[in-house]
Structure 1
Amino acid sequence: MPSYDATDALDDLFGEEEGYSSGGGAAVVTRTEAILDGPTPASSIDAVLRLADGLPSLDDVRAVDDHDTSELTKTELEQKEQTEAVISTALAAGDAAVWVIAQGLERAAKGRWWRRTHTSLGSYVEAKIGRSAVYGRQLRKNAPLALETAHKTGTVPKPSQVKVTSKTEEQYGREAAVTLYEVVRDVSFELGAHPTADSLMAVHKSLPRQLPEEPEQQREVIVQTTRRTLGLGTETPAFESESNDGALGEIPHGDEEEPAEASETSGDAEDDIEDAEIVPEHLVTLKDALKTLNAVNRAVTKDVFAEAAASPDDAVEYEKVRQAIIAKTTAIRNKALHAPKV
C-alpha cells in the first residue's frame, strides 16, 4: 500500500515556490495559475484524498464490544499508529490550506478582482470563503508569519496560534515568534499534549521584557521560560508557592531529588486552611481540590513510579497511566494558570 506522509502533503499544497490559490470555475483557475507556480487545484484535492490510501482496510479492523477494555493486540496497535499518522497528515494539510487561502485573498485584494462583482473586498471574502471580512483580514495579515513558521518548523500553525505568535513578533521579532511556536510545540509533546493558543499565550506573557539579540541565547531563554510555564521546570513546584514554576503533581523528571518530603510541610499547611464561616461554594471546591492534590502528591513518589516501571509485563499499562497522569495534571495546571487573577 503506498505511503503518503505530511511532507508529501505540504509539498503538494504549497508547491516548490509560494503555493497556489484555488477557486471555483475555470477562469479563477486560469488566472491563479498564471500568477503562481504549483499544482492545479484538482491535483491538490486528489493528493489530499489519496491520504485515505494509507489507511488500513476497514474490513481488516476487528470489531470490538462496547465493554471490551482489553489491551490492544499487536495488529491493532499497528493499525492505530497507521491510522493516526494519516489523520495527522490530513489535519496538517487542512491547516496548510488555510494559509493558501490567505495568500489567494492577498492577491485578490491587491488586484481588486472583486471590483466588478462585489461592493467591497469584505463582501468578496465572505462570498468566496464563507467567513467574515475580519477573519479574512486576520488571515492575510498573519500569513507571512504562518508560512515562515511552517517552513522552518515543519509544522503548520493554526490561525488562533499565529494570532498569538504575531504578538510575539511585534514585541521581539519574527525569529523569536517562530522559535516560540517551535519550542512550545516540542515541550507540549513531552507532556503528551499539543500546542494550543492558550499555552502559546501563557509562554508569551511569561517572557522577559527583552530577549537577547543573539539567536542561540534568545532560544535558550524561550526554552527555559516555556518549560517553566508549561510545567517542566525544576525550581519550585506549582501549588506550593505563588510562582508558576515547576510541575503540577510533582511528576519526577530524570534524576531530580524527590520533592515529596518538602511538600509535606507546606502541603500540610495548605490542608489545614480553615474555611471561613461563609465561603463561596466555588472556593470550597477549589480548596477541596487542593487538599486532594496534596494527598496525591504525597502518595505518588519517585519510588512508586520506579517500582511500577520495573515490571516488564505491565510496561504498556504503566506508560499509558504515566501519560494520562501527565495529561491530567497539565490540564489542571493550565486551568489554574489561565484563571483570572485578583
Structure 2
Amino acid sequence: MAGFDATDALDDLFGGGNTYASGAGAAVGTRTEAILDGPAPTDSIEAVLRLAEGLPSLDDVRAVDDNDTSELTEVEQHQKEQTENVISTALAAGDAAVWVIAQGLERAAKGRWWRSTHGSLGAYVEAKIGRSAVYGRQLRRNAPLALETAHKTGTVPKPSHVKATIKTEEKYGREAAVTLYEVVRDVSSELGDHPTADSLMAVHKSLPHQLPTEPDQKREVIEQATRRILGVGDSASIEAPSFESESNKSASIEALGDDGCDTTGEPTGGTETSDGADDDIQDAEIIPEHLVTLKDAVKTLNALNRAVTKDVFAQAAADPADAAEYEKVRQAIITKTTAIRNKALHAPKG
C-alpha cells in the first residue's frame, strides 16, 4: 500500500502499544500521554486518506453491463479483494476514532473544561461532537470495555456491539464480555458474516446464570452457546431466537442500537410432508428482475426442503465408511443455508 501500513495507523489512533487497563478510570488515565504525544490532527487525517492509495486505479476497473452476471475474472477478483481490504481498514479506523473521542470526553468531564464556555457538560458534548449528552455518556461508560476488547482481540468493536457486551460485563465480568465478543466474531466469520449487536445480545441472553471461573471452561460454555444461537455445528438449535434487525453499523459516531436475536440450524418453510403448494410465492403479472430472482430462490429452497428430509440425513449417516464425507456435507449445508438466512435477515425490510 505504497509504504503505508494501516495497522500502524490504527496503533497511532490508540497511541501505540501501551497496555489497556481494566478499570474505567485507569483505562482512560493510561491513554493520556499516548494521545497527547500522538500524531498531529492533520497527520492522522492524512494517514486515513492515504488508505485510498491502496485502491486499484479507477481507470483499470473494467466497466460491466448491468445485465452481466458472469463470474469475476482473476483480475477482477484481485481488485475486489484489494478494495475490500481498504474499505475494512477505513471502517476500523472510524471505529477506533470513536473510542478516541470517548477518551477525550472523559478528560473534559473530569477537568470540567466546559465550565467557562458552556452551561453543562451535555451542552459541551453536543457542541464538540454533534451528538446528545446521553450518547456522550454512553461512549465514556463503554470505552474501557471497547479498548480492552480491541487490545485483546485485535478488532475494534463498534459502539452498538459494546452496548450489547457491556451487559455481559455487568453480569459476568469483563473477561467474559471480551471472550463473548471474540467468540461471536470468530463463529460469525465461519459463516462468512460479521458479529452484530443482535447476535451478541442473543448469545448473552442464552448464557447460564453463572459461568465457570476457569477461563478455558468459560470460553467453552460461551462458544457452545454461540454455535447453538448462530446455528453452527452440533450445538445448533432448530428453535433459536430470530434476529429482527441488522445492528452491525460502523462507527462514524453511529447511534448505539437496540437489541434483538435469532437463528435456525436447518431451513424452514413447510413441513416434510407438505406438497409445497402453500409454500410457493405466487407470481405477479409484472415483477422486477431482482424480485424474480428472490422468488426463484424461494421455490428452489422449498424443493430442497422437501427433498432433504430427516430420513435422508439418517440414511446418509448410517454407513460408518462414509462418516467423514457425510459430516463434511452436513456442515456445508448448515453453513450455506445459514449464510442465505443471514443475508435475508440483514436485508432492508419492505
| Structure 2 residue 309 is matched with structure 1 residue 297 | no
| Structure 2 residue 253 is matched with structure 1 residue 248 | no
Partner of 1:115: 115
Correspondence 1:25-40 to 2 at 5 A: 36-40=36-40
Aligned mates of 2:38, 2:151 — CA distance in 1: 16
Partner of 2:136: 136
Q: What's the CA shift for 1:333? A: 7.5
Q: TM-score, normalised on structure 2?
A: 0.70
Q: Which amino acid aligns with 2:304?
A: V
Partner of 1:154: 154
Partner of 1:258: none
Partner of 2:341: 329
- CA, structure 1 residues 56+323, in 2 after alignment: closer, same or farther (shift >3 Å)? farther
- Matched residue count: 277
- CA, structure 1 residues 3+194, in 2 after alignment: closer, same or farther (shift >3 Å)? farther
Q: Which amino acid aligns with 1:249?
A: P
Q: What's the CA shift for 1:3? A: 5.5
Whether contact under 8 Å (2:102, 2:140) holds in the other structure is yes
Partner of 2:2: 2
**Cα deviation 1:231-287 (Å, max 9, x = unaligned):** 11425651599xx8861329xxxxxxxxxxxxx9x73389899xxxxxxxxxxxxxx
Aligned mates of 2:165, 2:131 — CA distance in 1: 22
Partner of 1:268: 273
Whether contact under 8 Å (2:229, 2:236) holds in the other structure is no
Correspondence 1:1-342 to 2 at 5 A: 2=2, 4=4, 6-16=6-16, 36-234=36-234, 238=238, 247-249=265-267, 267-268=272-273, 295-300=303-308, 325-330=337-342
Aligned mates of 1:120, 1:237 — CA distance in 2: 50
Q: Which amino acid aligns with 1:172?
A: Y
Aligned mates of 1:230, 1:191 — CA distance in 2: 9
Aligned mates of 1:115, 1:240 — CA distance in 2: 51
Aligned mates of 1:322, 1:71 — CA distance in 2: 24
Q: CA RMSD for the aligned pairs?
A: 3.6
Whether contact under 8 Å (1:249, 1:296) holds in the other structure is no
Whether contact under 8 Å (1:230, 1:330) holds in the other structure is no
Q: Which amino acid aligns with 2:74?
A: K
Aligned mates of 1:205, 1:125 — CA distance in 2: 33
Q: What's the CA shift for 1:191? A: 1.1
Aligned mates of 1:225, 1:216 — CA distance in 2: 14
Aligned mates of 2:34, 2:147 — CA distance in 1: 21
The structure in which a higher percent of residues are helix is 1
Aligned mates of 1:78, 1:293 — CA distance in 2: 32
Aligned mates of 2:142, 2:86 — CA distance in 1: 27
Q: Which amino acid aligns with 1:248?
A: E
**Cα deviation 1:306-340 (Å, max 9, x = unaligned):** 9xxxxxxxxxxxxxx997643222456899xxxxx
- CA, structure 1 residues 333+52, in 2 after alignment: closer, same or farther (shift >3 Å)? closer
**1:95 aligns to what SS in structure 2?**
helix
Aligned mates of 1:110, 1:36 — CA distance in 2: 16
**2:272 aligns to what SS in structure 1?**
helix
Q: What's the CA shift for 1:38? A: 1.7
**1:267 aligns to what SS in structure 2?**
coil
Aligned mates of 2:79, 2:59 — CA distance in 1: 12
- CA, structure 1 residues 75+103, in 2 after alignment: closer, same or farther (shift >3 Å)? same
**Structure 1 unpaired stretches of 5+:** 20-31, 251-263, 274-289, 307-320, 336-342
Q: TM-score, normalised on structure 1?
A: 0.71
- CA, structure 1 residues 248+324, in 2 after alignment: closer, same or farther (shift >3 Å)? closer
Comparing 129-138 with 2-11, greater Cα deviation is found at: 2-11
